[in-house]
Amino acid sequence: MTSAPTDLPVLCGIILHPAAHTLSPVLHAAAYRELGLSAHYHAFDVPPDSVRDALAGMRALGLRQLSVSIPHKETVLELADRASEEARRIGAANTLTRVGDEIVADNTDWIGVRKTLEPLADWKDKRATVLGAGGAARAVVFALRSLEMHVTVVNRSAERAERVARELGAEVGTLEDPFDLLVNTTPLGMSPDLDSTPAAREVLRPDSTVFDTVYRPLETRLLREAASVGCRVQDGLDMLIHQAVEQVRLWCGRAPDAENLRAAALDVLKA
């Protein structure tokens, strides 16, 4: 009779709904290979009414870290044992790390936004319009405010837009407001809904930058139309990569090379 192994791989993963589109398992697998970590990362399709059960499973199964995506980012912040200052200020979390017996909530999305936008321009005192008012929008607004931008939130639910704006130092507006940067944080245009767009072509300005946090496909209808009228465009892959790099660093104290993660993601997207 053989003894049970003592060096089982660490378990990590992502909770979201639906789960088919996520590239996070590809990114984390590439990071673990590079860093020589014995770890497995899985995508878990968790309906909104099962998030509490998912966190209980994290404890019971010994998962070391969970990424969190649509639509659970605000819910998990309420359920975690404690949270980082950034996650509390943002009001949403995209990362749960098990530290001893505690589940700690954090937010690395805002870091992904900053690292994506900082090389593009000096954004201080520029105007940004953010489409959406969910957990991703909260991280985007927080990041833009950290860049000292003037931020307007646009959402179908005025109540949700007002809450995000009030809590994060932004304003509520419309797509008719002038902007230097337009950021889509909604899932409109994400595969398989390729014909959808959160902003009509007529509101896009040639002298502006349009940033779509959707990464599947890399060229959404919004970005295609923005490029056609002369906008600078930015897809969501850089944000996804940079937030994943920070997630791995939070878990193990070491950061993988972002370019290695990009190569792994592009292999899948091109296929």
Confidence at residue 1, expressed as pLDDT on a 0 to 100 scale: 36
Q: Residue 236 is encoded by which pair of tokens?
A: 């969501």
Residue range 134-169, pLDDT digits in tens: 999 999 999 999 999 999 999 999 999 999 999 999
Q: What is the 3-state secondary structure (H, E, C) of the chain?
A: CCCCCCCCCEEEEEEECCCCCCCHHHHHHHHHHHHCCCEEEEEEECCHHHHHHHHHHHHHHCCCEEEECCCCHHHHHHHCCEECHHHHHHCCCCEEEEECCEEEEECCHHHHHHHHHCCCCCCCCCEEEEECCCHHHHHHHHHHHHCCCEEEEECCCHHHHHHHHHHHCCEECCCCCCCCEEEECCCCCCCCCCCCCCCCHHHCCCCCEEEECCCCCCCCHHHHHHHHCCCEEECCHHHHHHHHHHHHHHHHCCCCCHHHHHHHHHHHHHC
Residue 248 and residue 256 in contact, taking contact as beta carbons nearer than 8 Å: yes
Confidence grade of residue 179 (pLDDT, cut at 50, 70, 90)? very high
Residue 241 and residue 7 in contact, taking contact as beta carbons nearer than 8 Å: no
Residue range 66-123, pLDDT digits in tens: 999 999 999 999 999 999 999 999 999 999 999 988 999 999 999 999 999 999 999 9
**Residue 5 pLDDT exceeds 60:** no
Confidence at residue 9, expressed as pLDDT on a 0 to 100 scale: 87
**Residue 63 pLDDT exceeds 50:** yes
Residue range 12-36, pLDDT digits in tens: 999 999 988 899 999 999 999 999 9
Mean pLDDT of 216-238: 98
Confidence at residue 6, expressed as pLDDT on a 0 to 100 scale: 44
Residue 100 and residue 74 in contact, taking contact as beta carbons nearer than 8 Å: no
Pairing, β 127-131 against β 150-154: parallel
Give the catalytic positions in this structure: 73
